Amino acid sequence: MRMRRKENMKNVKNKSDEKGGALILVLILMLVISVMAASMMFLAQSETWATANYRMMTQTRYAAETGIQAAANYLMFTYVPPDATTIGTYSYQTVSPVKLGNNPVMLSSISGESAVYADSSVISQYANQTQGTLAAGNTTLNFSSDATMLAMRQVKVFGKSQLQTVQTWLLKGRGSIAGVQNSQVEVTAIMERQVTPMFAYAAFAANSGCGALTFGGGATTNSYDSSVPLVNGAVAAFSASYGNVGTNGNLTELGTNTMINGTLSTPRAGVGTCSSGSITALTGNLNQVSGGIVPLPQPITYPTPDAPSPMPPTGALSLNNAACNYTGCANIAAGEYSLAPGSSASPSLYPDVNIKGTVHLTAGVYNFNSLTLAGAGASGGILKIDSGPVIINIAGVGFSANQAPVDLTGGSVFNPALIPSNLQILYGGTSLVKLTGGTNSSMLAYAPNATGSITGGADFYGSMITNTITDMGGAAIHYDRQLQKTLMNLGNWMLDSFTWSKF
C-alpha cells in the first residue's frame, strides 16, 4: 500500500511539472507567430518602398528623356549652325569635342552648368527651350539638358551653292522630382547627321502616296560601273543587281516583263492594293523586285535645289537650221550650235531653249528658263555633251503644273562616255520633267518637287529624283554604281547610343 501511495504522489508531481512546460511552449509559439507577423509587415513595407522607388525612378527617367527630346527638337528645328563666315571662330578640324578657346562647346539648361558658345542668343534660346516641368498626378517632375558638340565639318551638298555644316552632339537629359533629394536620373544620347550619296537609287520618288513610283510596259532597272572601260568603247557591262529604287510612298508595278533588278526602299510596308487610307509598299508582284523590300526607318528628305542665280531671261530661243545670233550661241555647222558655258560664280544665261538641231555643251554652269528637245526620231533635237560636268539649272518661270520646263522626249541626249554626272539637270519647281532614253542618254535629273516621267523604250544611264516617277514606256534605267561615292546629301538626324544612370 505504501508503495502504491508513493507512486501516486510521484505521478501527481510529474503532472504538475508538465503544466509549466506547456506554458513555455505556448510562449515560444506566440513569439514565433509575432516574429512572422512582424516579418510579413516589414516585407510588405519593403515592397511598398520598392514600388514607390521604382515609380519615382521611372518618372524621373521619363523626365530626363524629355530633356533629351527637348534638346533634339531645338537642334533640329530652331538652331542654326555656324556658316562659312562664323565657323572659323571654333576649333573643330582636329579636336573632339569642338572648342571655343580652350573650353568645349556646350549649351545647357542644367542648374550650375555654364554654357560655352560664341552666340549669346543661342545660349539663351537653348536654356529657355530645353527645361521645364511635367505633371504626373500630384507629382511635379523637372527636366533640363545640356548638349556638347563632339564634331563639326562642312560639306558640299548637291544642288546647294553654300557649304552645309554637319555636327555631332552629345546630349544629356536630367530629370528629378521636386522635394525628393535622391530621385535624379541622367540620360545621355548621341545625336548625329550622316552624309549620304544624293543619288543612291536608280530612281527615287519623294512623294509619300500611292503610285509615287509607277513602272510598267517592260520597264527595268539594273546597274553598271562608269569607271570600267566600255565594251568596244561603246557598251556598258551590266549587272542584274543594284538597280535599286526607292520612294517615300508606294511602287505600283504593272506588266509581267517589268523587273526591278535590285531592292525597293520605302518606309511603307506590305504588298497589295494601295489606297489613301492604307498605303502599301508595293502593288504588284514581289518576285519582280529581285532584292525584296528594304524598310526605311523614316522618309528621305531631299532639299529643293537653289534657284538659278542670276535668273535667266524668258522668251523663245529656237535652234534649228537658221543662224543663231543670241549672246553666247554660235553656229558651228549646218544645224549645229554651241552654247557658251559659265561658271558657278557667273553662269551663262539662256531663255526658253527649243532645240531642233544639234546643240553642243561643254563643262560649265548654264541657267536656262526651260529646255525642250523638239521633233521626233531622226529629225529630233540632239543635246550633245562634249565635256563635263555640264550643270543646267532650270528656272521654269511662267510654267504651270501641267507644262514641262524640261522636255527631252522630242529628241535625244548624246553623252557617249556614259558618265551621268557629266550632265546634271536641276529644277526646284513643281511642273513636269519629261525624260527619254536612248543609246547614249546618260544624265542625272534632280527635281524633288516635280512630276517626272521617262519614255522612249530605250536605255537611260544614271539616276533621277523627282516627286513622282512614271516609267510606262519600257525604258531601262541603268544605275551607275559610282554615284555611291560622289554628290552628297545630308541624311536625317538620328539619336543613338542611349545610356542612363540614377544618382
Give yes or no: residues 260 and 339 share one domain: yes
Per-residue pLDDT of the chain (503 residues; tens, 9 = 90+): 555 555 555 555 555 555 566 777 767 777 777 767 666 666 655 555 455 566 777 888 888 999 999 999 999 999 999 998 999 999 999 999 999 999 999 999 999 999 999 999 999 999 999 999 998 878 889 999 999 999 999 999 999 988 999 999 999 999 988 766 667 889 999 999 989 999 999 999 999 999 999 999 999 999 999 999 888 777 889 999 999 999 999 999 998 899 999 999 999 999 999 999 899 999 999 999 999 999 999 999 999 999 999 999 999 999 987 778 899 999 988 889 999 999 999 999 999 999 988 999 999 999 999 999 987 545 678 999 999 899 999 999 999 999 999 999 999 999 999 999 999 999 999 999 999 988 889 999 999 999 999 987 789 999 999 999 999 988 999 999 999 999 999 988 999 888 878 66
Please check whether residues 230 and 91 belong to one and the same domain: no
- Residue count of the chain, please give it: 503
pTM: 0.84
Same structural domain for residues 365 and 333?
Answer: yes
pLDDT at res. 320: 84
Residue 9 lies in a domain: no
CA distances from 23 to 13, 27, 29, 32 (A): 17, 6, 10, 14
Q: Who's near 412: CB < 8 A, 6+ residues apart?
A: 373, 380, 381, 382, 383, 436, 438, 439, 440, 441
Are 188 and 299 in a shared domain? Answer: no
Nearest of 333, 393, 336, 385 to residue 159 by alpha carbon: 393
Question: Are 318 and 425 found together in one domain?
Answer: yes
Q: Looking at the structure, do residues 227 and 188 belong to the same domain, yes or no?
A: no
Task: At 289, list the grid cell.
Answer: 523586285
Residue 407 counted as domain residue = yes
Does 231 lie in the same domain as 172? Answer: no
pLDDT of residue 185: 87
Q: Are the CB atoms for 448 and 465 separated by under 8 Å?
A: yes
pLDDT at 182: 63
Question: Which residues is 502 bridged to in the sheet?
Answer: 185
Looking at the fold, whether 267 and 171 belong to one and the same domain comes out as: no
Domain contains 132: yes
Give the per-residue pLDDT at 462.
96
Task: For residues 352 and 403, state if they share a domain.
Answer: yes
Would 8 be classed as within a structural domain?
Answer: no
Structural domain count, the chain: 2
- Helix, strand, coil % (nearest 5) of the chain? 20, 40, 40
The range of the structural domain enclosing residue 381 comes to 203-486
* Together in a domain, 341 and 407: yes
Q: Which of 124, 104, 109 is nearest to 168 (CA)?
A: 104
Domain-located, residue 228: yes
Are residues 308 and 427 both part of a single domain?
A: yes
d(CA 277, CA 280): 10
Residue 294 lies in a domain: yes
Q: Give pLDDT, residue 457.
A: 77
138/210 same-domain check: no
- Residue 246: inside a domain, yes or no? yes
Residue 126 lies in a domain: yes
Give the C-alpha separation, 328 to 349, whole Å. Answer: 8
